[in-house]
Amino acid sequence: MTRYMMFRHIAFVFLLVTISSGRAADVPVRREWTVGVVVREALVYAQTKAKTEAAPVVFAFHGHGGNMNSAARTYGYHERWPEAIVVYPQGLKTPGPLTDPEGKKTGWQHALGNQGDRDLKFFDAMLESLKKDYRVDDKRLYATGHSNGGGFTYLLWEARGEKFAAFAPSAAASPKLLVSLFASLKPKPVIHVAGENDPLVKFMWQKQTIDALLKLNQCGDGQPWGQFCTLYPSKVGAPVVTFIHPGNHKFHEDAPAAIVKFFKEHTK
């Protein structure tokens, strides 16, 4: 047996062992859904045992101009929580009010009714098919995203909030929270990530959003919850954690670990 053939044999055996043990979450599957007449796609990480054992699901949305591949590399939720089904959806070209008014880059709808609610319909299609393919734990569904993806996370809270156990927006401000705090959002556990020197989504805007969250979730005084983090206990079982770092708009490298920790602590 040549050295090349031996290497292939070892690699094949390793793959079989990995799959048989149920730990195939580090190998993504590119999935497609036809929503209306548009083909949508996402990277899905899932262990094989998720077909027979109830598994949490994390939907992780990239920022404006990003893509599902860069989101998987940057967020890495599938590495930090391999037991979860982690979905990195791909956005479509979308106008960005702050940086891309002509809509040349990819992103997510900003409000209910935008683009015919194409991205809410995309989420519905993804969740429906995941439930057919895996044993999805309905009590452990989570949404997170950065920048425009964080804004869409807030929109999911508004439009599909009853489906989720917790949310984790980053570098995002929710006008809906500020304009009509109690109109449509119901209290939910949330961790909000913000950079104090964010030049794009101003920290002042995010601070106003955080203050609205604390009011919505009926939170008390804060207490330390790890580096950069403050936990605000809630009278209605919907605590708020703030992850406020000294950086800019860039997604903070320590945020994924804090987000996974927070998600693991909350079920419906």
* CATH assignment of the domain containing 238: 3.40.50.1820
- Structure-token match 């209290």, residue found: 187
Is 199 among the domain residues? Answer: yes
CB neighbour list of residue 63: distance below 8 Å, 6 or more residues apart = 107, 145, 146, 147, 148, 149, 150, 171, 251
Greater confidence (22 vs 230) lies with 230
pLDDT tens figures, 105-142: 999 999 899 999 999 999 999 999 999 999 999 999 99
Is 14 among the domain residues? Answer: no
Amino acid letter at 64?
H
Is 8 among the domain residues? Answer: no
Percentage of the chain beyond pLDDT 90 is: 79
Q: Is the pLDDT of residue 182 over 80?
A: no
Query: How many residues belong to the chain?
Result: 268
Q: Residue 103's pLDDT is what?
A: 86
Structure-token pair, residue 71: 């989101």
Q: Is the pLDDT of residue 218 over 60?
A: yes
Task: Estimate to the nearest angstrom the gap between the alpha carbon of 66 and the chain centroid.
Answer: 14
Is 3 among the domain residues? Answer: no
* Residue spans of alpha helices (H) in 24-161: 68-75, 77-80, 118-133, 148-160
Number of domains within the chain: 1
Is 253 among the domain residues? Answer: yes
Residue 178 pLDDT class (50, 70, 90 cuts):
low
> Against a cut of 0.85, is the pTM above it?
yes
- Structure-token match 């955080």, residue found: 210
Domain enclosing residue 53, as ranges: 25-264
From CA 75, how far away is CA 62, in angstroms rounded? Answer: 9
Whether the CB-CB separation of 138 and 268 falls below 8 Å is answered with yes
Is 10 among the domain residues? Answer: no
Residue 16 pLDDT class (50, 70, 90 cuts):
very low
Is 29 among the domain residues? Answer: yes
Is 128 among the domain residues? Answer: yes
Q: Residue 177's pLDDT is what?
A: 59
